[in-house]
Amino acid sequence: MKLHNLQKVISLTAAAVLTLSLAACSSGSGTAATPAPPYGGAPAQDGGATYKIGICNYVDDASLNQIVGSIQDRLAAIGVERGVSFEIDYDNCNADAAVLNQIIANFMADGVDLMVGVATPVAMAMQAATEGTDIPVIFSAVSDPVSAGLVDSLEKPGANLTGTSDYLDTNSIMSLIFAANPDASKIGLLYDQGQDSSATPITHAKEYLEAHGIAYVERTGTNNAEVMLAAQALAADGVDAVFTPTDNTIMTAELSIYETLIDAGIPHYTGADSFALNGAFLGYGVDYANLGVETAGMIAQVLLDGADPAETPVMTFDNGTATVNIETCEALGLDYDTIEAAFAPLCTKVQTITTAESFDELKG
């Protein structure tokens, strides 16, 4: 049974975006004039192959949405460049495991040639569902694919999936905290214990703080209400700064907590620029738009060039971009020029952003 909220086929073609009357033939078929492509695909009516791709996003999140948009845009361009078509079924499970499993079942029933899992929980569910099949999976924004058990190693995944990682260099964020405030003596750790993407960075943060003799307080939450209470508790704890890794639960709650932290004079250091977009003092990490572009490139390698996911290295990125919310910086009583000077030696780039709900709002 199809989900009511399933966003049906977006057909990206070589000439442009065509109407749905050019529906794809069944996956894996071919003709004498147009041989079957390396990983499924069917000959389109214009002679080029058509590939069916199922993309599932974990949650409505500024960074993750940006990845999906970049994947779609880049696949459209690749279609023009390579003379092929991509049919994309896209949906968002909104962190609901039952919905996620139904979306994946729908993809498989529709005979997709490849699945794309955005964020760790989606990638793990797709891995389990496709085991024993020949459906490749490309993941995106998986912070620690080895610890999550998705791949044997970054260099040689060893299974029918690979993808792009937004691995977070926790020590670099810790360095930024103390560059801005050398006298900080108590750090708050705010995260969801159920998020796989948070486990390793939080462990690293504790190791760093213990090694430097810095006290820390842990507060956790699994939904917006709990995260709001956790933020209020951190304010009462009197922490000098708060650290959150690439945690989707905290990200979705950021708009609800950033003013609480500002009012308490606490800068929030986080693992993605989407947090800063939603009011956090700083987001440090990868360029998620570029992450989507590179994910689309890996999709093309598998579908068009016959690359074996098991032998295709997971792609990691330079985590050197610090994004400062200039409005929050001012509200905290911090001088941006001083902050930029302190951060610059520790980052590839320091940039500013203002508060909004989505990156689209910043464009117009």
pLDDT tens for each residue of 276-320: 999 999 999 999 999 999 999 999 999 999 999 999 999 998 778
Go through 322-356 and write b for each residue having 16 or more CB atoms within 10 A of its CB, e for each that does not.
Answer: bbbbbbbbebbebeeeebbebbeeebeebeebebb
- On whether the CB atoms of residues 252 and 160 are closer than 8 A, the answer is no
The β-bridge partners of 88 are 10, 53
pLDDT at 40: 57
pLDDT at 318: 78
Residues in the chain predicted with pLDDT less than 70, given as ranges, are 1-47, 363-364
By the 10 Å C-beta count (0-12 exposed, 13-18 middle, 19+ buried), 319 is classed as buried
For residue 155 the two structure tokens come to 């260099």
For residue 162 the two structure tokens come to 């690979």
- On whether the CB atoms of residues 227 and 251 are closer than 8 A, the answer is no
pLDDT tens for each residue of 242-271: 999 999 999 999 999 999 999 999 999 999
Cβ atoms < 10 Å from Cβ of 208: 20
